Structure 1
Amino acid sequence: MPGPAAKPRAMRLIEGNAARRPLPPEVNFGKGLPSKPEHPDELDADGNWLWDQIIDQAKDAGLLKPINAAAMEHVCQTFSRWRQAVRLRQAEGIMSENSQGQVIAPWVKVEESAGREFRAWCKEFGLTPAAEAGLKGPEEDDAAGNPFA
């Protein structure tokens, strides 16, 4: 089994490098897209909010590529579905009534599955501190970063 998730580089710099292992290099993803892409038409208010949050930060980091647009839209749709299920749970409660009596409400299961899917997408895009530590930038020539090479 793998051990705990790696700490982000910045956190290791703050806390000190107790293990004395080499720190991962700073990630440089290049330029990315020159401008911020428009919101997809299919996103609701929650999806648009997350789109703005992710796109602004990804643009600053140079992570935006046209190929990521559909996956990023899926992240926002998943977040929106999770938010809608949370609102239903808060308004209606955890239990509901059906022909079998009291059962766990269907929106609770939607909330749980959307939450799991959203966490997986966050890990895929490096949107959590632990996942950010695993991001790899483009391979650089050793001679470019080493003045003694």
Structure 2
Amino acid sequence: MAQRGRKPKPTLIKQLEGNPGKRPLNEFEPKPEKRAPKCPAWLDKEAKKEWRRTAKQLEKLGVLTEVDMAAFAGYCEAYARWKEAEEFISRHGTIIKTPSGYWQQVPQVSIAQTYLKIMIKFCEQFGLTPSSRSRIVADKGNDEVNDPMEMMLREVVK
């Protein structure tokens, strides 16, 4: 049966955001090890570059784990395809003249738009957009424990 409404946020993201809805958190949510998965060999060259660029940063935030490989690979591939379409547009423009003399939009415009939408959905899941990041409360850099649960408990006590 399909779920209605918004997709639930992972508990870690809710904790990092300070649980703004103040709803009970799922105590039994699986907690995979906070370690970036190995980059799949089958990724496109540009997707691998994006993986290397962002994986370690997401691992440090505790957002990317071993079990997120497929979702993160999807983001990286969407990025690579979006970039390829945008580079084509930059070189050739957005419209061409057909053999019959009509002006037509190049397919790369809709390809770029499609992959940008896909990328944004993945970005929101991993906290890669300014708005999704703005809701996250990161560690303040002191010597205290970096455990998200400990951080949440300290906020409740204040």
Q: Determine the C-alpha separation between the residues in 2 that align with 1:120 and 1:143.
A: 26
SS across alignment from 2:68: helix
* Offset at residue 147 of structure 1 (A): 10
When residues 107 and 60 of structure 1 are mapped into structure 2, their CA distance, relative to the original with a 3 A threshold, is same
Distance 1:57 1:140 in 2: 20
Q: Secondary structure at the match of 1:103?
A: strand
State TM-score, norm by structure 1. Answer: 0.65
CA–CA distance in structure 1, aligned partners of residues 155 and 95 of structure 2: 62
Indicate the residue corresponding to 1:108 in structure 2.
109
Residue type at the aligned position of 2:105: I
Residues 107/145 of structure 1: CA separation in 2 closer, same or farther (3 Å cut): same
Q: Give 1:80 deviation, angstroms.
A: 0.3
CA distance in 2, matches of 1:115, 1:44: 17
Find the counterpart in structure 2 of residue 95 from structure 1: 95
Equivalent position of 1:145 in the other structure: 154
Structure 1 contact 30–62 (Cα < 8 Å) conserved: no
Match of 2:37 in 1: 37
Q: What is the alpha-carbon distance in structure 1 between the residues aligned to residue 123 and residue 153 of structure 2?
A: 32
Q: What's the secondary structure of 1:96's corresponding residue? A: strand
**Partner Cα distance (2:114, 2:60) in 1:** 31
How many residues are paired up? 122
| d(CA) in 1 for partners of 2:93, 2:151 | 58
Please state how far the C-alpha of 1:73 moved relative to its aligned partner.
Answer: 0.2
Comparing 130-139 and 57-66, the one that deviates more: 130-139
Equivalent in the alignment of 1:62: 62
Q: Is the 8 A contact 1:43 1:77 kept in 2?
A: yes
Partner in structure 2 of residue 9 of structure 1: none
Q: Offset of 1:47 from its aligned partner?
A: 0.7
The 1:50–1:96 alpha-carbon spacing in structure 2 relative to 1, beyond 3 Å, is same
Q: Give me the TM-score of the superposition, normalised by structure 2.
A: 0.62
**1:23-54 CA-partner distances (Å, limit 9, x unpaired):** x549xx99612xx4332122223211210122
Kindly report structure 1 stretches of 4+ aligned residues shifted beyond 6 Å: 136-139
**Shift of the alpha carbon at 1:57?**
0.3
| Long gaps (5+) in structure 1 | 1-23
Q: Percent identity over the alignment?
A: 19
Structure 2 residue ranges without an equivalent (≥5): 1-16, 20-30, 139-146
SS of the equivalent of 2:69 reads: helix
